[in-house]
């Protein structure tokens, strides 16, 4: 049974992520302890709310440095929702620019859509060779709650750098998930996505 830490840095949704990972077959601890988070088989970085607030909370517990260190060591990290967004170079909210973790290049920005937040179920066009979406049929829906994302415009560098990008659309095309080496992330909430989310989490655990 893989050991997983859900990083506690003041963001919400920790217990639902914990329960979903446990149902998917992991031994899960919610913790801000650097030693636990560094040594576990898999680290999950959740996120709810604003990019700037999540980055501030991450820095308080040294989460940005922890993520970087795990990736240096090739130890898996999974970001969820704003936990995905903070993995990029920066986020722009209400005209304010905030530096992110920089694990991937790119700036998270407000979606160009008539209705925001984007709240509800969307299909995802999975990247060929995706480990996260293995065995999940095309047309399967996942649950999203957000107004910001990595927009498709100007994001070609990710694929050029060898990352697998899975896409969806709300007003415009944006990254629903990204995978590269030990790092993976979803803009949607697998822990709120029913059976499909459970399969995706089990797929991730299978990579640990």
Which are the catalytic amino acids? 81, 189, 191
Whether the ω angle into residue 117 lies within 30 degrees of 0, i.e. cis, is yes
CA-wise closest residue to 12 among 70, 65, 52, 57:
57
| CA dihedral (186, 188, 189, 193) positive or negative | negative
Q: How far is CA 3 from CA 28, 29, 207, in A?
A: 6, 8, 12
CA-wise closest residue to 64 among 92, 98, 94:
98
């Amino acid at each position: 049974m893989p050991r997983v830490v859900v990083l506690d840095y003041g963001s919400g949704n920790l217990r639902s992520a914990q329960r979903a990972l446990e149902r998917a077959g992991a031994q899960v601890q919610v913790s801000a302890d650097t030693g636990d988070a560094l040594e576990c088989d898999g680290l999950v970085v959740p996120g709810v709310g604003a990019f700037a607030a999540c980055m501030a909370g991450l820095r308080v517990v040294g989460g940005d440095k922890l993520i970087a260190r795990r990736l240096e060591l090739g130890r898996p990290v999974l970001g969820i929702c704003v936990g995905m967004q903070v993995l990029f170079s920066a986020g722009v909210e209400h005209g304010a620019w905030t530096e992110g973790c920089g694990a991937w290049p790119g700036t998270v920005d407000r979606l160009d859509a008539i209705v925001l937040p984007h709240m509800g179920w969307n299909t995802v066009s999975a990247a060929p060779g995706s480990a996260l979406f293995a065995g999940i049929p095309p047309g399967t829906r996942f649950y999203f709650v957000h107004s910001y994302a990595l927009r498709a415009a100007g994001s070609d560098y990710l694929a050029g750098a060898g990352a697998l990008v899975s896409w969806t659309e709300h007003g415009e095309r944006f990254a629903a998930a990204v995978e590269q080496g030990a790092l993976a992330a979803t803009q949607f909430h697998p822990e709120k996505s029913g059976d499909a989310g459970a399969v995706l989490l089990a797929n991730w655990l299978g990579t640990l």
